[in-house]
Amino acid sequence: MKIDSRIFALFGNPVAQSLSPLMHKAAFREMHVDASYRALRVENPREIPERMEAMDIRGASITIPHKTGIMPYLDEISDSAARIGAVNTVTRADGRLRGDNTDGIGLVRALSEALEIKGKRFVVLGAGGAARAAVVSILNEGGVPVIVNRTAKRGGQVAKEFGCDFYPLDQIQGITGDCLINTTPVGMFPNTDASLVSPDTLKHFEWVMDTIYNPLETRLLKDAAKAGRRIISGVTMFVHQGAQQIRIWTGLQPPTDVMKRIVLERLKNETD
């Protein structure tokens, strides 16, 4: 199917390292959608609506550090994005801007490929935007999130808001659960040897997920695999959050297998 030429973009700062352009362009090509997708660095989220209007951009991915800052400039925000407190997807239609958050859906789809969420206990490391997306979406699916964070004040506030348990990071060795999810940037390129959790503590969990996807296998996931745990890579979440953006913008089914293959190829080349 051929549809009108459309312009999509990623807004953030920095954006040069992002794999979103590679992934979205591959998806549009495979779908025969006549669309472009470019990465645009913006200092201030206030610039995003202006740029979208001026360049006739139909849909945008929003990344660090503008996921919260963009919110006051939107006409409408989905219930889940409002609950998470962050927007990673903006759609422009009929002169109005709507904000969504697809990180939670991406995380749930990645988890669901590995385990049933309902009734399971998920220990979430971190209390920022990715952690909030994880907590909201796990609760929606009937799972039980527990927050563990370095800064007790922030972690305690998020736990109180969502009615879940909180533990400070220095108590992690005493915590058990079905699945551990790292939503902190610890272990991300270039600090690839860092991990917040000792191999011994990883034995308390059957599944270990990292939301980081560069490197593909973080130190946390390597340690977990060595300890005989089942691992879930952040790349699956990344692909599913991007696929959901395409569904929102076009109403069409994106080719998640092609998107995943192209991202994996790039990440594997970077490791070699």
Residues in 74-103 at the binding interface with ligand NAP, rule: CB under 6 A: 103
Beta bridge partner(s), residue 7: 36, 57
Q: Is 145 in the site for ligand NAP (CB under 6 A)?
A: no
Contact segment (CB under 6 A) with ligand NAP among 5-13, 32-40, 76-84, 211-219 equals: 211-219
Q: Is 243 in the site for ligand NAP (CB under 6 A)?
A: no
Q: Is 234 in the site for ligand NAP (CB under 6 A)?
A: yes
Structure tokens at 246: 């395409």
CB-CB contact of 22 with 213 (8 Å): no
Distance (Å, whole) CA 106 – CA 256: 11
Q: How far is the CB of 194 from ligand NAP (least distance, A)?
A: 8
Q: Which of 49, 59, 106, 255 binds ligand NAP (CB under 6 A)?
A: 106
Taking the chain, what is the end-to-end CA distance rounded to the nearest angstrom?
Answer: 37
Distance (Å, whole) CA 229 – CA 115: 13
Q: Which residue is nearest to ligand NAP (CB)?
A: 128
Q: Which of 154, 222, 230, 266 binds ligand NAP (CB under 6 A)?
A: 154
CB-CB contact of 243 with 254 (8 Å): yes
Q: Which of 71, 185, 199, 266 binds ligand NAP (CB under 6 A)?
A: 185
Q: Is 45 in the site for ligand NAP (CB under 6 A)?
A: no
Cβ atoms < 10 Å from Cβ of 67: 25
Distance (Å, whole) CA 69 – CA 108: 25
Q: How far is the CB of 34 from ligand NAP (least distance, A)?
A: 26
CA dihedral (150, 152, 153, 158) in degrees, to 10, reads 80
Q: Can 67 be counted among the known catalytic residues?
A: yes
Q: Which residues bind ligand NAP (CB under 6 A)?
A: 103, 106, 126-131, 149-151, 154, 183-186, 188, 196, 211-213, 234, 237-238, 241
Q: Which residues are catalytic?
A: 67
